[in-house]
Chain A
């Protein structure tokens, strides 16, 4: 009987959860605020030349050559084309040589904005295997 009464006493007090809840809520708010859900967007490219790595294509078959000049000129397979025509040209060459990757070679001082556009066009042309290198003028 005495034991029973003791048990009753325990239940009525319990642990006050309110301070813990305050603390946990603060932690929660901190993590909500610092959470970053935006993933960065990028174009995965390999590297060729430059000495640090071997050819990114991996295959020794060859590759479609795209050159970005300092002036913004673009050569696909040694033919000057417009940025918007890169896609069509790459599609055509890719259809001829489906196993070839694309090597985008930029001159040292070429603007990287043009370079990104070209890589984007190449990827739109259906070639995922893109490697990037620079030429010494």
Chain B
């Protein structure tokens, strides 16, 4: 009887103080919220060319992919060449610091790449990079 009372009383009174854990978890949460970059993915995987001097584009968050058959993918859907400019304009207004990476398939046409880059520039984003894979692997 005595032992039973002892056990129940201590467990009820002490418990674990959750406040420090909550502080810690909140800090982690804030860290992840801040570091989350909302990348506008193209929506498809293309067979990209490899380059040794490829650099990580700062704020390169808008991805446009070009397929070998001339399809343009942006924001997880296929778009027409004429749609690229208004889409880029809209995304540029939403997040002005974002830059564009045009990821062309190895066998995509250079003419299309140039046209897409022009449309992006007309859309208001001057910093355009041509996407490339790294030769060393990620």
Contacts and interface: CB of A to CB of B under 8 A. Distances in A.
Interface of A: 17-18, 20-21, 24-25, 27-28, 31-32, 34-45, 47, 50-53, 68, 106-113, 115-117, 119-120, 123-124, 132-134
A21 B28 CA distance: 12
A24 B129 contact: no
Nearest to A117: B49
Q: Is the interface of B mostly helix, strand, loop or mixed?
A: mixed
A36 to B, nearest CB: 5
Contact of B113 (A51, A115, A120): A115
A120 B85 CA distance: 27
Contacts of B103: 40
A21 B109 contact: no
Given A31-B29, A112-B49, A43 B54 contact: yes
A107 B110 contact: yes
Q: Top 6 nearest A-B pairs by Cβ distance?
A: A42-B129, A113-B106, A108-B111, A120-B51, A31-B32, A116-B49
Given A40-B63, A45-B130, 11 more contacts: A25-B25, A28-B25, A34-B36, A41-B54, A43-B51, A44-B127, A52-B121, A53-B118, A53-B126, A116-B130, A134-B110
A116 B22 CA distance: 49
Nearest to B107: A111
Q: How big is the B interface, by class?
A: 35 or more
A44 B110 contact: no
Contact of B29 (A28, A107, A111, A112): A28
Interface in B70-115: 101, 103-111, 113-114
Contact of B39 (A31, A36, A45, A112): A36
Nearest to A56: B126
A36 B41 CA distance: 11
B32 A21 contact: no
B19 interface: yes
